[in-house]
Chains A and B, each alone.
Chain A
């Protein structure tokens, strides 16, 4: 089945830019979705279809996807952005079509 690889942790100071990567074989040919999950809460969609935002998600959240790497970028990071972030794709030709990355813990210093 398709494998998505994320770094376990990313740290950034308030006001700076955080970049969280999601690696996969030719992931640039797939649509990537990103979820934010705070402790004890359900995941929340923050970016879908590579770079679209659901209603209510700040413009500070953006995404890109090319080659073997997709990236979630959070600009002007705030303390409230501290959470786990997971990427997800749909692999249409697989018997395991919905795949999540292992998640990245974003720490705001």
Chain B
């Protein structure tokens, strides 16, 4: 399985950050996985942004919820992230990742596959 992130590396303040993650070598429609976005500001730790199940259940970090949209296009095998009204504090490396979901017991497992990460800088 491979996850390949793509998108602009530079976004102006107040604009919308848009990233895409293309999945290859596996299905994006499996009931055994969530698909998520995580970011890492320079020199800081990992921050979960949000996660989506293929049939539409979506969860967002409450601190970002008003600005975030995560969608899945199963025909293109793509996961997308949109973050609106960005500021300099949104500058970070953005990772997409697959999350294991133990469907039989309704429990989430680890992030087992990660994309390479996309550095997004918010600056005018």
Q: Contact check: which of B47, B107, B114 meets A90 at CB < 8 Å? A: B107
Tell me how many residues of A have a C-beta within 8 Å of chain B. 25
> Is B45 a contact of A100 with CB atoms below 8 Å?
yes
Binds B, one of A17-25, A41-49, A65-73, A75-83: A41-49
Q: Is B51 an interface residue (CB 8 A)?
A: yes
Question: What does DSSP make chain B's interface, helix, strand, loop or mixed?
Answer: strand
- Complex CA gap A23/B100 in Å reads 23
> Is B112 a contact of A48 with CB atoms below 8 Å?
yes
> Is B109 a contact of A33 with CB atoms below 8 Å?
yes
Counting contact residues on chain B (CB < 8 A from A), the size range is 20 to 34
- Complex CA gap A44/B113 in Å reads 8
Q: Is A14 an interface residue (CB 8 A)?
A: no
Question: What does DSSP make chain A's interface, helix, strand, loop or mixed?
Answer: loop
Least CB separation from B106: chain A residue:
A92
Query: Which residues from B are CB-within-8-Å of A62?
Result: none
Query: Which residues from A are CB-within-8-Å of B114?
Result: 42-44
- Complex CA gap A42/B39 in Å reads 11
B99, B111, B112: which has the most chain A beta carbons within 10 Å? B111
> Is A98 a contact of B109 with CB atoms below 8 Å?
no
Query: Which residues from B are CB-within-8-Å of A97?
Result: 59, 108
Using a CB–CB distance below 8 Å, which chain A residues touch chain B?
A: 1, 31, 33, 35, 41-45, 48-49, 54, 86, 88, 90, 92, 95-103
Question: Can you name 12 A-B pairs with beta carbons within 8 Å?
Answer: A31-B109, A33-B109, A35-B111, A45-B110, A45-B112, A48-B110, A86-B46, A88-B110, A98-B36, A98-B59, A100-B47, A102-B45
Besides the known contacts A35-B111, A88-B46, A90-B109, 12 further A-B residue pairs in the complex with CB atoms under 8 A apart: A31-B107, A31-B109, A35-B46, A42-B114, A43-B111, A48-B100, A48-B110, A49-B109, A86-B46, A95-B62, A100-B47, A100-B48
